[in-house]
Amino acid sequence: MIYQQVNGMTYAYVEEGDKCPECRLGILQWAEVKNCSCHICPPCSACTDNILECPVCGWEEEALERGIKEFIKEREFELI
């Protein structure tokens, strides 16, 4: 995971091959592309908008964008 600080704000980025930020056991990989239309007009949005996921716990890159509060709520954990 890469952290970058800009104007006092910290941003987190993940890349293929990083350890999962949720379980720390899985290695992030690209999710299976669904509804690919690259055979018509490459590259298609299904391929360019693909997300990283953890094969161990199911964490998805979109969790960073939604924020940790919603991610925890989605997993039915309680905030302390």
The model's pLDDT over 40-59, given as tens digits with 9 standing for 90+, comes to 999 999 999 888 999 999 98
Q: Give the mean pLDDT of the chain.
A: 78
* Residue 80 forms part of a structural domain: no
What pLDDT is stored for residue 79 in this prediction?
47
* Residue 15 forms part of a structural domain: yes
Q: Which residues, listed in sequence order, are joined to residue 9 by a DSSP beta bridge?
A: 6
What pTM, to 2 d.p., does this model score?
Answer: 0.63
**Which residues of the chain fall below pLDDT 70?**
1-6, 8-12, 63-80
**Number of domains composing the chain:** 1
Q: Which domain holds residue 53?
A: 2-74
* Residue 79 forms part of a structural domain: no
- What dihedral do alpha carbons 33, 61, 13, 17 form, nearest 10°? -60
